[in-house]
Amino acid sequence: MSVALFYTDTITNVLDFGCGPGSLTIKLAEYLPNAKVYGVDIDRNSIEKAKENKAKENIPNVEFVLLENDHMDESWTKKFDWITLVDVLHDLPNPNFSISDIKRVLKDDGIVSVIDPCVHSDHKMNQGNQTAAMLYVFSTFLCLPCSMSREPAVGNGVGWGVENRAEFLKSNDLKILGDEHNGFVQFQKA
């Protein structure tokens, strides 16, 4: 939450892209009571669970939205100061489309924070890394099926790696802030 720690007074709209059951989304709304926090996901069950969790917590500044056609509402253009993607980017079946839509809804001076597995794109460089080995197993059963669930079904999964992720972001006219080769990366429009 490094962005929120420094800019809590200026953050008015936050998007948790791929929010799942909304755990992070709700925490962000609690931490940023003066901001409106949105969670979006393509999974109907996750959004229903997120709405249940919101009701239990009674957090007024959070909203959950189902992305039925993978496209965010046109009224959201340049709406968000901060967008988070936690363990999502490598799972996207069409990351080019998703990043294009994320850029559209991000304010010109907004920031995107991504947490994704920290493994190398060159698999030989992960030799001896037990965490990478475990992540590859999970990816086989969780990440790859998700990444292959819709066209164009790019199939990145965990094996995509930090180097390929950095190149992908740069090729989509995004400026990486700080170290691009770790599990946490922040970027903004170039």
Report the C-alpha gap between 35 and 15 in whole angstroms. Answer: 11
**What is the model's pLDDT at position 86?**
95
pLDDT band at 37 (very low <50, low <70, confident <90, very high): very high
pLDDT band at 1 (very low <50, low <70, confident <90, very high): very low
The distance of Cα 169 from the centroid of its chain, to the nearest Å, equals: 13
pLDDT band at 5 (very low <50, low <70, confident <90, very high): low
- pLDDT per residue over 152-181, tens digit each? 988 888 889 899 999 999 999 999 998 888
Mean pLDDT of all residues in 83-109: 94
Task: Extract the tokens encoding 175.
Answer: 């400026």
Instruction: Please answer whether residues 38 and 64 qualify as being in contact, where contact means their C-beta atoms are separated by less than 8 angstroms.
Output: yes
CA-closest candidate to residue 7, choices 42, 27, 32: 32
Mean pLDDT of all residues in 100-123: 93
Report the C-alpha gap between 143 and 116 in whole angstroms. Answer: 11
The total number of structural domains that make up the chain: 1
pLDDT band at 64 (very low <50, low <70, confident <90, very high): very high
Residue 34 in this model has a pLDDT that exceeds 70:
yes
- pLDDT per residue over 124-158, tens digit each? 998 999 988 998 898 889 888 888 888 898 888 88
Averaged pLDDT score across all residues of the chain: 91
Domain hosting residue 92, numbered range: 2-189
Report the C-alpha gap between 26 and 112 in whole angstroms. Answer: 18
In a 10 Å sphere around its CB, with 0-12 CB exposed, 13-18 middle and 19+ buried, how is residue 158 labelled?
buried
pTM reported for the whole predicted model: 0.91
We report the CATH number of the domain holding residue 93 as 3.40.50.150
In a 10 Å sphere around its CB, with 0-12 CB exposed, 13-18 middle and 19+ buried, how is residue 27 labelled?
middle
